[in-house]
Structure 1
Amino acid sequence: MKPTYTVGDRIVVERVGGDELRRGDVVLYTAPTRYGGGLGVVQRVIGVGRDRVVCCEDTGTARERITVNGKPLRESYVNHGVADGLHRAYDVKVPDGRLFVLGDNRTNSRDSRLFPEDHGGTVPVGAVVGRVTDSSAMPLLLAGSTLLGVLLAVVGIVFGFAARSVRRRPAAQLVLWPEHL
């Protein structure tokens, strides 16, 4: 997934339903028949159910683009701006409940292009573990939430002790003067 992610990068994955996945999302999924047992694969969603993914418009030029439903993709995230890298044409109609996924390093990625015999190379939505979120913001959000939780717990404990000590004080004696009766 270079240049977006490199080996050793920490990523945060949020679990999402298949209906929440969109084109452009980076997902973590498993495909044991393709990549061996239990390994997670991180790739980008290019097409969702009923999309038509075609490679490539302006093949062999600097303007080479993959099209989805006839519209060229603008992919600023691909390594060195290479839209395909394999120089292999494909035209895939993505079945419902499946995703067409590609790596961002198109010259060195084992993605949907290499498995055309398996539903056009698509991956079942059920194989998706989750969507990769911004790896720098999420840990900060989690750390901030944890800190806030600890702070609220400490405040709660302080108020608990304060309430207990207020309850233990003896009640003030009420003295009534005869003119108040």
Structure 2
Amino acid sequence: MYAPPVSEDKITGRPFYRSKGFELLVLIVVGVVVAAGVRTYLLQTFYIPSGSMENTLLLNDKVLVNKLLYRFRDPHRGEVIVFEPPASWGAGPGEQEYIKRIVGTPGDHVICCDPQNRITVNGQALDEDYLYPGDAPSDDKFDVTVPAGRLWVMGDHRSDSADSRAHLDSDQGTVPISRVAGRAFAIYWPVSHWTSLSVPKTFESVPSK
């Protein structure tokens, strides 16, 4: 007896590998793998746990960090970076990363302060209009030539920042570039604080080493 062919849309059973459940599982797994790869190699988010970078970054702001940039070029003066502090800095629990601004790069001569109470880099005074209102550039004096492969970093809220100045007895307070996680380039949360973290113009006039 002749039986007419059954069209595919009338077939109710489908192999597992063609089921919607399996397709959803594959999408979830791929999404997790992609997200992990992005977080590990490209982009990561961090929240601000202290006031050491006020008013550039406020408590509980969330920033985007480019983790790929320094694979292609060296860190530049004026950039805001996230880094794992050297063991000698004695970071406590929950303080695995710090966020500060680069003031000196390898070979730079960083001094506090000139007769006008300004920090100088390679003889050029910095006009630091990004500092926390009322803060001096630094209450601590220093005269440092940044070693190769390291950075001199400072918070924008100088009176509330345990930065390179607080660790002069260990490698002159400098941070190995190898411990830098990446450059913080934007505040993304809260929305009312959204902005890019550009390099202040004062660093453009600093001469080469």
| TM-score, L = length of structure 1 | 0.68
Q: Which moved more, 1:26-35 or 1:66-75?
A: 26-35
2:106 matches 1:54: no
Cα shift at 1:91: 0.2
- Residues 72-151 of structure 1: matches in 2 within 5 Å? 72-80=125-133, 82-85=135-138, 87-136=139-188
| TM-score, L = length of structure 2 | 0.59
User: Conserved in 2, the CA contact under 8 Å of 1:64 and 1:82?
Assistant: no
Distance (whole Å) between structure 2 residues aligned to residue 84 and residue 116 of structure 1: 17
Structure 2: runs of 5+ lacking an equivalent: 1-52, 195-209
Question: How many residue pairs end up in the alignment?
Answer: 134
Distance (whole Å) between structure 2 residues aligned to residue 41 and residue 97 of structure 1: 18
Cα shift at 1:136: 4.3
Cα shift at 1:84: 3.0
Q: Tell me: CA distance 1:55–1:101, structure 2 relative to 1, closer, same or farther (3 Å).
A: same
Cα shift at 1:31: 1.3
Distance (whole Å) between structure 1 residues aligned to residue 82 and residue 109 of structure 2: 22
Distance (whole Å) between structure 2 residues aligned to residue 12 and residue 95 of structure 1: 28
Structure 1: runs of 5+ lacking an equivalent: 141-181
2:83 matches 1:29: yes
Cα shift at 1:82: 2.8
- Partner in structure 2 of residue 3 of structure 1: 55
2:40 matches 1:40: no
RMSD (Å) for aligned C-alpha atoms:
2.1
